[in-house]
Structure 1
Amino acid sequence: MGMLKEQRIVITGASSGIGSEMARQLSKRGAFVVLAARNQDKLEQVGAGLSGPFGLVRLDVSSEESVAEAFQRINDTYGSVDCLINNAGFGRFKPFTETPMNEFESMMDVNYMGVVRCTKAVLPGMLAAGKGHIVNIASIAGKLGTAKSSAYSASKHAVLGFTNALRQELRGTGVTLSAVNPGPIDTPFFTEADPDGSYVKNVGWFMMKPEKVAKAVVQVIERKKTEVDLPWAAGIGTKLYQLFPRLADKLAGGVINKK
C-alpha cells in the first residue's frame, strides 16, 4: 500500500470494464481515486464499491471543453493529479468497406485525441512539480493489425506512436509515461465492438479477465514500467510479426483474424 497511499489517481472510462476494476484495486492500495466518465450514475455505482475515499467527475474525452472543465474541477476540489490513467475508448469491428467515415473519426477522436486532450490537461502541472505518471491503455491492436479492425487498430497505433514520442520528450523531467497493451478482455467493450458475439466466440479461450489487466496496470504504476504487453504470448507474437511479417501472416492469419 505504501507508495500509492493518498496518491491522487484519475481514471478515464472508469464507469465499467477495466476502468472500474483498476479503481477497486488502486483504492485497496490506499490511493485516492478520481473516477471520470460520461455516465454519472455508473460512476456513483463504481464509487460505492470502493474501499477508500474517492472523487468523481463527469468527463467526455471527445470534448476539449469538457476535458478542460473536468480537470479544473479535479484540481480545485481534490488537488493536483499524481497519476492519470487514459483508459476511455471504444471499438467496432467491421470490414473496412462497411465502416462509415464517422466511425473512423469517432474512434480516432475518443481513443487517440481523448488521450491527447487529457494529457495536455495534466502534463503542465506534473512538469512544474517535477513528478507524475501518465499511463495510456493502448492495445495489442496498436502493434498488430487484424481483419475488421482497421479503424480501431489505427487509433491504437496512434496512441502508441504518441506515447513513444512523448516519452522521449519527458526524459529527465521526473514524469513517467507508460503504455499498457492488452489483448482481448472479457468486459462490456465487446457489447459494442462485437454485437453478434462472433469474435468473442472465436477468441474466448484467449480473453483475459479484467482483474488480471488491472493488476498489471497497478504494477506498472508501482514499478514505473514504461510498457507492458498482455498476455505475454501476444507480446512475443507482435515481436515476431515485426521481424517476419510475411511468415507471421501465413502462420497466424487464421488465428488472429477470427472476427
Structure 2
Amino acid sequence: MTGPGRLAGRVVAVTGGGHGIGLETARRLARAGARVAIGDLDGAAARTAAAELPGDVAGLALDVTDTASFAAFIDAVEERWGPVDVLVNNAGVMWAGGFADEPESAAARQLDVNLHGVIRGVKLAAPRMWARGRGHIVTIASAASKLSPPGEATYAATKHGVYGYLKGVRAELRGTGVRLSVIMPGVVDTELAAGTATGAVRLLAPADVARAVHAVIVRPRFEVSLPGRIGPLADWANVLPQRVRDLLFRALVPDQVRAVAGTSARTAYQARRLTGGDDD
C-alpha cells in the first residue's frame, strides 16, 4: 500500500514543513520519490530542511495567514515542477491553559493559522486541481476535531471548524476528481504539545502521522484517526446520555489545564509561536 513507486514523481507541497510533523512528512514523502516543497514561516528552516532531505526537495518561505504569500508559494512550486498533486495543510499552533487566561492575541493567532490557514489552502489549491480533474488535499487536524480537552478550548474550536469546513467542501467537490482527507492524531511528541498530557492513549511520534499521510495519499479516504479507535469512540459516545458521556470523556481525555499548571514547559513555545509563527 505504501510502496515508494506509488508516489514517484508526484508534486507535494507541505505547509509548516520546517519542523515536527511537517518535516517528518516531507522526509517520508521525499524518500518515497515525491518532489516535495517545504513551506514554512521560517524560510531559513525550510531551506535547511530541504537541503538535508533526500531527493528533489525545495524549501520556501510561506505565511499561511497571508493569501498573497500562500498563492506565491503554490505558484513557485508549479513553476518549478508543474501542478501540485498533493497539498498537505499542516501548519498549526496551540495555546494550552484555562480559557479565561488565554490572551486574545493567542486565540486570534490560532484561528488565523489553524482554521483560516486551512481555508486559504483549500481555496487556492482546490480550484486548480478541479480544473485538471485531479488532486488531493490532506489536512493535519487533531483528535480535538471531535473531542474538546479542558485547556484546549480555542484550539479544539479551530479543529472542529476545520473538520466541518472540509466535510462541506468535500460534498461540493464530489465527482470533480479532487479528494480531501483529514488526519486526526492524538497528542504528538512535538514542541506544540510540550508539557501537555496524552490522556488514555500513548504519545505519538511525528513519524506516526507522516506514515498516515503517506498511506492516505496512496489509498485515499476522508477520515483517519490516530490511534484508530479515537474517532469511532468519539462518534459512538455521542449516542450516550450526557452524564455518562461526561464520565467517559473525563476518564479518557487529557485535562490540559491540570497538565500545564505550574510548569514553564510551554513558556518559550507560546511566546514564540503565538506571536508570529506557525509550526506543527
In structure 2, what is the equivalent of residue 16 of structure 1? 19
Deviation at 1:65, TM superposition (A): 2.0
Per the normalisation by structure 2, the TM-score is 0.85
Whole-angstrom distance in 1 between the partners of 2:229 and 2:201: 13
Deviation at 1:69, TM superposition (A): 2.0
Q: Which runs of 5+ in 2 are unaligned?
A: 257-280
In structure 2, what is the equivalent of residue 256 of structure 1? 253
Deviation at 1:116, TM superposition (A): 0.9
**Residue number among 141, 156, 159 corresponding to 2:159 in the alignment:** 156
Are 2:125 and 1:128 aligned?
Answer: no
Deviation at 1:206, TM superposition (A): 2.0
Are 2:122 and 1:119 aligned?
Answer: yes
Whole-angstrom distance in 2 between the partners of 1:257 and 1:222: 32
In structure 2, what is the equivalent of residue 223 of structure 1? 219
Are 2:78 and 1:70 aligned?
Answer: no
Whole-angstrom distance in 2 between the partners of 1:205 and 1:120: 34
Please list the CA deviations of residues 124-143 of structure 1 after superposition, one character each: whole Å capped at 9, or x if unmatched: 21011000000111111010
Whole-angstrom distance in 2 between the partners of 1:189 and 1:45: 20
Please list the CA deviations of residues 220-247 of structure 1 after superposition, one character each: whole Å capped at 9, or x if unmatched: 0000111101112322331232222431
Is contact 1:203–1:258 with CA below 8 Å preserved after alignment? yes
**Residue number among 229, 247, 250 corresponding to 1:233 in the alignment:** 229
In structure 2, what is the equivalent of residue 243 of structure 1? 239
Whole-angstrom distance in 2 between the partners of 1:229 and 1:151: 20
Deviation at 1:256, TM superposition (A): 1.4
Deviation at 1:121, TM superposition (A): 1.4
Please list the CA deviations of residues 49-71 of structure 1 after superposition, one character each: whole Å capped at 9, or x if unmatched: 32211122110001122112222
Q: Which runs of 5+ in 1 are unaligned?
A: 192-196
Whole-angstrom distance in 1 between the partners of 2:237 and 2:103: 29
Per the normalisation by structure 1, the TM-score is 0.92
Please list the CA deviations of residues 76-119 of structure 1 after superposition, one character each: whole Å capped at 9, or x if unmatched: 23321110000000101121111122222110110010011111
Aligned Cα root-mean-square deviation (Å):
1.6
In structure 2, what is the equivalent of residue 194 of structure 1? none
Is contact 2:115–2:159 with CA below 8 Å preserved after alignment? yes
Whole-angstrom distance in 1 between the partners of 2:201 and 2:224: 21
Whole-angstrom distance in 2 between the partners of 1:188 and 1:203: 18
In structure 2, what is the equivalent of residue 91 of structure 1? 94
Are 2:138 and 1:141 aligned?
Answer: no
Over 4 Å off, 4+ runs:
202-205
Bigger share in helix = 1
Higher mean alpha-carbon deviation, 212-221 vs 234-243, is at 234-243
Is contact 2:200–2:251 with CA below 8 Å preserved after alignment? no
- How many residues align? The count is 252
Please list the CA deviations of residues 143-198 of structure 1 after superposition, one character each: whole Å capped at 9, or x if unmatched: 0111111110000000000111100011100010111101100112124xxxxx2x
**Residue number among 152, 158, 179 corresponding to 2:182 in the alignment:** 179
Deviation at 1:45, TM superposition (A): 2.6
For 1:231, give the aligned amino acid.
P
Whole-angstrom distance in 1 between the partners of 2:148 and 2:96: 12
The percent identity for this pair of structures is 36
Query: Which of 1 and 2 has higher RCO (CA within 8 Å, sep 6+)?
Result: 2
Deviation at 1:28, TM superposition (A): 1.1
